[in-house]
Amino acid sequence: MADKSRITNSIKYYDQATDLIPGKTQLISRRASQFAAGVSPVYAESAKGSKFIDVDGNEYIDWVNAVSAVILGHSDNVVDTAVKQQIDKGSIYTLNSKMEVELAELLVDTIPSAEMVRYSKGGGEACSVAIRIARGVTGKDKILFSGYHGWHDWYQSANYLVDPESGEFPFAGIEPIGVPKVLAGTALPFIYGDLKNLEQLFNENKGEVAAIMMEPLRSDIPEKGYLEGVQKLAKENNAILIFDEVSCGWRTRIGGIQEFLNVTPDMSVFAKAMSNGYPMGVTVGSRDVMEPASEMFISSSYWSDNVGLAASITTINELKSRNSEDQFEDLGARMRKTIDEVISSVGIPAKSSGFHYRASLSIDLPDETLRPKINTLFIQEMAKNGIYSNMGFMPTLSHTEEDIKKTAEAMEASLKVIQKALEGDLDNLLVSDIKKEPFRRLVR
């Protein structure tokens, strides 16, 4: 049994939430079952820089950073000052804010695919705006997608195509309850990295595909020519190519992965880190694709909220002035080096992967069925040592050398426990519930 005394208050609130909030949390990734349930903290009291304090008073170095939405560091002084000053002037106006135009100019100057922009309040919403525009512009309905794109019907309807129990696309184990069945077959997943698969889907759905929606990468650089191949297929089939940069944008290049890999899609979606944790999303694209949106019904009261606009303008300018691209490259490289050093000092078969914005650890296992337990054990041991992470480490510009050192010490202790577990003591050492994986992404 887990010693739950360290997180008594977290458990109390979680029990109350079970009664009051269906699903307990607003984001699946914030459920206790996503980390080491019974050991990992579930509720935070405050956050500053690279750290947060949970509701039981424990401090953690944070490598999750609000699922990557925080990029400069929690409660960044410059962004928060800009937001507070804006709140004093009005958090929303009856009229439009001139910051809408200021931010649009900044985005057009920064993101290669941006000639025109539309705002929203989050990643999934910005994806839905992109899909509406793509369908409106092409007059076609079907979407080929690869990756995770939010909770909306257009995307979740893909789950009607597979047996939810078989662990197939894209939300294994979650049925599309409440999603209209008539949408079944309108969003079709394709396999990242496999151009033949994409070509086959175009052939099977000739003349019906409005858009390709994809995460251009998650953790590894795609094979040379892959994204160009996707772009060519989109063009040949009169489909709009949309890059979902909600997760991969900002850290590697401020202009997105499209700038880093030099492939410019017709449209792109950004959110999360663009505002250092304040609600914001944006759909950008070429003038040809975006201009017809003026005739479409795409409209919402809070898309003009001044807090998100002020936070975005300040965050993007701060990323530029703090030389973020070089800093993230350096942070990513240092984390990978650290992981490799710890692996060799412990002498455990494992490897590091990922770059710039997310170094991660993968432990070689004699039997893949052990992975959920071993990964949960790692998260459990890291939490006990004051580190909040999963198997990946998403830095912010506020992570210091000292944070990396402390993380390395915790990782060394945690991997030693895993060594013992692999020698046969796993079920005694694992005191948390097993980490569940209710969804996976369709990129490698």
Ligand X SMILES: Cc1ncc(COP(=O)(O)O)c(C=O)c1O
Give the interface with ligand X as residue ranges (CB under 6 A).
67, 122-124, 127, 147-150, 215, 244, 246-247, 271
CA distance 90 to 270: 25
Pick from 225, 229, 238, 152: nearest CA to 190: 229
The DSSP call for residue 228 is H
Q: Strands 142-146, 187-189: parallel, antiparallel or unpaired by DSSP? A: parallel
Identity of the residue, 215 or 403, whose beta carbon is nearer to ligand X in the bound complex: 215
Identity of the residue, 107 or 271, whose beta carbon is nearer to ligand X in the bound complex: 271
- In the complex, the smallest distance separating the C-beta of residue 65 from ligand X, rounded to whole angstroms, is 12
- Cα 140 to its chain centre, rounded Å, is 28
Handedness of CA 261, 265, 271, 274 (dihedral sign): positive
State which residue has the least CB distance to ligand X: 123
- In the complex, the smallest distance separating the C-beta of residue 365 from ligand X, rounded to whole angstroms, is 26
Identity of the residue, 17 or 67, whose beta carbon is nearer to ligand X in the bound complex: 67
- In the complex, the smallest distance separating the C-beta of residue 140 from ligand X, rounded to whole angstroms, is 22
Q: Which residues pair with 362 in a beta bridge?
A: 351
Q: Which residues pair with 220 in a beta bridge?
A: none
The DSSP call for residue 271 is -
Tokens 């692996």, residue? 343
Residues 6+ apart with CB under 8 A from 132: 293, 296, 298
Handedness of CA 24, 440, 324, 216 (dihedral sign): negative
- In the complex, the smallest distance separating the C-beta of residue 134 from ligand X, rounded to whole angstroms, is 15
- In the complex, the smallest distance separating the C-beta of residue 152 from ligand X, rounded to whole angstroms, is 9
- In the complex, the smallest distance separating the C-beta of residue 421 from ligand X, rounded to whole angstroms, is 30
Cα 163 to Cα 170, 172, 179, 209, 347: the distances in Å are 11, 9, 15, 24, 41
Identity of the residue, 29 or 238, whose beta carbon is nearer to ligand X in the bound complex: 29
Say if residues 41 and 34 touch (Cβ distance below 8 Å).
no
Identity of the residue, 2 or 221, whose beta carbon is nearer to ligand X in the bound complex: 221
- In the complex, the smallest distance separating the C-beta of residue 185 from ligand X, rounded to whole angstroms, is 22
